[in-house]
Chains A and B, each alone.
Chain A
Amino acid sequence: MSQETTHIVSYKTQIFVLLALLVLTAISVAITRIEMGPFNTAAALLIASIKASIVLAWFMHLKFESRFFTVMVAAVFILFLLVILVTFFDYSYR
């Protein structure tokens, strides 16, 4: 059994993370005003992924856990990305 470690994130970091999330939210709204065709979807997904990664890393402590979990989460992200890619084989060529 591995040792349970508790890691306490300082308020300062928490607030930085919160600000980063708010800024990214603002960007994802602002970016819809630019006409980019299918890349609008890509941009929205990209920003959402960055936000999710931030939440995972700090709020959900992935950054302080064993590397193994990071690898697992990354694998899930890649799977998700591939599913979206395949979906767009349909939408981009209709």
Chain B
Amino acid sequence: MSDSNNAHNVSYLDYKGQYKGLSAWIFSTDHKRIGLLYLYTMLAFFSVGAILGLLMKTELIAPGATIMGPKAYNALFTLHGIIMIFIIVVPGLPAVFGNFFLPIMIGAKDVAFPRLNLLSWWLYVIGILIVLTSQFLGDGPPDTGWTFYAPYSFQTPANVLPAVFGAFVMGFSSILTGINFVVTIHRMRAPGMTWFKMPLFPWTLYGTAWIQILATPVIGITLLLIVAERLLGIGIFDPALGGDPILYQHLFWIYSHPAVYIMILPGMGVISEIIPVFSKKTIFGYKAIVLSTMAIAFVGYFVWGHHMFTSGMSGRALYTFSFLTFLVAIPSAIKVFNWVSTMHKGSLDMQTPFYWAVSFIFVFMIGGLTGLVLGSLATNVHVHDTHFVVAHFHYIVFGGTGYAFMAALHYWFPKMFGRMYDLGWANLGWGIFFIGFNALYLPMFFLGMQGMPRRYYDYLPDFHGGNIISSLGAWVMISGIIIIFANLIRSARHGKKTTQKNPWGGKTLEWQVETPPTLENFEEIPTIEKGPYHFGE
């Protein structure tokens, strides 16, 4: 290795290792390059998922078959759900920004197991490829929805197994990332960085990692049971074979509800990083945020039944789950109060990442509060499986995790690429996106309350008005997305170069290393004395 390629002074983007070209990326064990691998994979599939969504909204612009029939529509929402949930938001922030920034933020040179980290990405890609085969092989694409509910998922002739098995493989990727992060956080914090001096994004990654490790095996086993039942005819879930379909729902949601916290917790972590930096104020209630993170991660294991209120559970189970659901909303609300109090009397710096963060709080609250409507037994019966649920989870998954992802991207972009994006276009993109987003999803709450069910290509003429607004909103939102990503992609390649270490005035460690970071992040591992958000000292 030549001297100019010394790991200490060469940017991770320019570093020349033993491989060249594409191989220098897909075989790199550098946590930063792996983060970008995930980012590019996700962007590619997000575009596919978004186009599917747009097609569905176009179908729904008028009653009756507009551009497709029921079969195509069912296949579309299934693939849309599988892509968006399993490929985008579940790996989401941890895989991209966790990989890139967790080691830097805790003062480490890499994650604990760099090779395992690369294996995670490979498993992820292999899982995706397996899922994709379901679209082209066998008796047509799956039409079960991303939830694969029994007994339909055993009876449909469609090609369910590859989709299920692909999700299973991706689960392993998720578990390995979780293990890697837990060990990294336990063992590799810089000297002096006690648990309560650790920044909040790593804290949320920690809570998330535990959910990834402990909840994902449940879905793995469940998906294998589906395979066993479909291939060998063992009666586990199918009542025709003596199985119990509600057991399937239990097992599915024992994973999938904690999984929604895999999606949202890192998002909350990002927002907790951004709000103090752009308010120039120490975060309000650091410990409250840490504890509420861990409380959400823990209580979140016990609320899965709120997806099954109308499925025929026992009465005792109904009110237990409803009670626990209300309980888990409390720590989420605590965080909102913390963010708002941090901004209170701060000196606000209105920049793109801050716009995303504030709009996150807005849409997250709408999503969270409508969650309570769904969590109450009486109202749930009315709106379950209607567009109200679709609106709820888009507000909270797209509005929460999605906005946090955009916030993170605009916040860390200069550090990751050593280039700056165009602020004007970024803000314009945000504005258009925000308007389109609300036009798209807000009407769904009303449609749901009026009784429009989800997962149908057709509807009664009474629902036409709301659907027109919603479908037009989808087109507006997509225009915003195109502006945002065109700006970012162009800037990553041709944007103004910057080596400024700390463009936003952040206090966490990633703002003290080179821009872009060197191969090993730190020439010397720093010693930590202060908490992570010591503004105004």
- Which A residues fall within an 8 A CB radius of B? 76, 79, 82-83, 86-87, 89-94
Residues of B with C-beta under 8 A to A93? 314-317
Ranked 9 nearest A-B pairs via Cβ: A93-B314, A90-B317, A89-B317, A93-B316, A90-B313, A94-B314, A90-B314, A89-B320, A89-B316
Residues of A with C-beta under 8 A to B393? none
Known contacts being A87-B250, A90-B250, is A79 close to B301, with CB within 8 Å?
yes
- Identify whether the interface residues of B are mostly helix, strand, loop, or mixed: helix
Q: Verify B316–A79 contact, CB threshold 8 A.
A: no
Query: Nearest chain B CB to A16's CB is how many angstroms away?
Result: 29
Residues of A with C-beta under 8 A to B314? 89-94
Provide the bound-state CA to CA distance between A91 and B214, in Å.
Answer: 23
**Within residues 293 to 350 of chain B, which ones have a CB less than 8 A from any CB in chain A?**
298, 301-302, 305, 313-317, 320-321
Residues of A with C-beta under 8 A to B214? 76, 79
Q: Verify A83–B302 contact, CB threshold 8 A.
A: yes
- Which B residues fall within an 8 A CB radius of A? 214, 246, 250, 254, 298, 301-302, 305, 313-317, 320-321
- Identify whether the interface residues of A are mostly helix, strand, loop, or mixed: helix
Query: Nearest chain A CB to B122's CB is how many angstroms away?
Result: 27
Provide the bound-state CA to CA distance between A89 and B322, in Å.
Answer: 13
Provide the bound-state CA to CA distance between A89 and B323, in Å.
Answer: 13
Provide the bound-state CA to CA distance between A90 and B253, in Å.
Answer: 14
Query: Nearest chain A CB to B412's CB is how many angstroms away?
Result: 31
Provide the bound-state CA to CA distance between A83 and B214, in Å.
Answer: 11
Provide the bound-state CA to CA distance between A59 and B128, in Å.
Answer: 35
Query: Nearest chain A CB to B187's CB is how many angstroms away?
Result: 9
Provide the bound-state CA to CA distance between A82 and B320, in Å.
Answer: 13
A-B contact pairs, 18 of them (CB 8 A): A76-B214, A79-B214, A79-B301, A83-B254, A86-B302, A86-B305, A86-B317, A86-B320, A89-B317, A90-B246, A90-B250, A90-B313, A90-B314, A91-B314, A92-B314, A93-B315, A94-B313, A94-B314
Provide the bound-state CA to CA distance between A76 and B182, in Å.
Answer: 14
Residues of A with C-beta under 8 A to B254? 83, 87
Provide the bound-state CA to CA distance between A91 and B317, in Å.
Answer: 9
Q: Verify B301–A82 contact, CB threshold 8 A.
A: yes
Provide the bound-state CA to CA distance between A82 and B317, in Å.
Answer: 14
Report the nearest B residue to A94, measured CB to CB. Answer: B314
Query: Nearest chain A CB to B207's CB is how many angstroms away?
Result: 13
Report the nearest A residue to B316, measured CB to CB. Answer: A93
Known: A86-B321, A90-B250, A93-B315. 8 other contacts (CB 8 A): A76-B214, A79-B214, A79-B301, A82-B301, A86-B305, A87-B254, A92-B314, A94-B313
Q: Verify A82–B315 contact, CB threshold 8 A.
A: no
Known contacts being A76-B214, A90-B250, is A83 close to B301, with CB within 8 Å?
yes
Provide the bound-state CA to CA distance between A89 and B319, in Å.
Answer: 10
Known contacts being A76-B214, A79-B214, A83-B254, is A90 close to B305, with CB within 8 Å?
yes
Residues of A with C-beta under 8 A to B317? 86, 89-90, 93
